[in-house]
């Protein structure tokens, strides 16, 4: 009789453990399925900001300005398209600058090189420069930058 009672208690705890593990697994699966099915819920809100007109950035040239957080962004005319990139190096955060002759972004801190599209070409940077969506509407250049929310006091 005692053995059967112990067995029942053991079974009970084992079912509780299995049930909670199954519940945790299903919750995790549901979370990832929602992330997959509704990816827009993950996106940060952005703001479309007017930058300049296409005739102000000649082919091979770039145009610099500050985003809503004070970070530097450069819009480059590659001759085929306009590309907006952060000028903050992805290694340790130094400012990169456009080398017109070599047509690369160069970080002087540790000799980092990025392609015109911001991809790492050489040096220690671990990932490409942050990029922003560019839209050209009737010769006006807009980019989509992260929205900045301020506390309302």
Q: Which residues bind ligand FES (CB under 6 A)?
A: 89, 91-92, 94, 107, 109-110, 112, 123-125
Which long-range contacts link 110-117 to residues 24+ away (Cβ below 8 Å)? 114/85, 116/76, 116/78, 116/83, 117/78, 117/83, 117/85
Question: How crowded is residue 56: how many other Cβ atoms within 10 Å of its Cβ?
Answer: 13
Q: Residue 123 Cβ, how far from ligand FES at the closest point, in Å?
A: 5
What is the nearest approach in angstroms of ligand FES to the Cβ of residue 121? 12
Give 123 or 128: the residue with its C-beta nearer to ligand FES. Answer: 123
DSSP state of 87: -
**DSSP state, 126?**
-
For residue 72, the Cα-to-chain-centroid distance in whole angstroms is 16
User: Judged by CB, which is closer to ligand FES: 117, or 144?
Assistant: 117
Minimum distance, C-beta of residue 15 to ligand FES, in the bound complex (Å): 56
Shortest gap between Cβ of 74 and ligand FES (angstroms)? 15
Nearer CB in complex with ligand FES: 97/134: 97
């Amino acid at each position: 009789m005692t053995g059967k009672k112990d067995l029942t208690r053991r079974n009970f705890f084992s079912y509780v453990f299995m049930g909670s593990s199954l519940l945790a697994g299903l919750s995790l699966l549901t979370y990832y399925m929602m992330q997959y099915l509704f990816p827009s819920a993950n996106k940060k809100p952005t703001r479309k900001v007017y930058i300049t007109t296409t005739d102000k950035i000649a082919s091979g040239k770039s145009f610099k300005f500050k985003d809503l957080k004070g970070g530097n962004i450069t819009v480059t005319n590659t001759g085929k398209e306009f590309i907006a990139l952060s000028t903050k190096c992805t290694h340790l955060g130094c400012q990169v600058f456009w080398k017109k002759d070599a047509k690369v972004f160069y970080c002087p801190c540790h000799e980092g090189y990025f392609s015109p599209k911001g991809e790492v070409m050489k040096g220690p940077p671990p990932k490409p420069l942050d990029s922003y969506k560019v839209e050209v509407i009737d010769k006006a250049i807009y980019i989509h930058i992260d929205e900045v929310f301020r506390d309302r006091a």
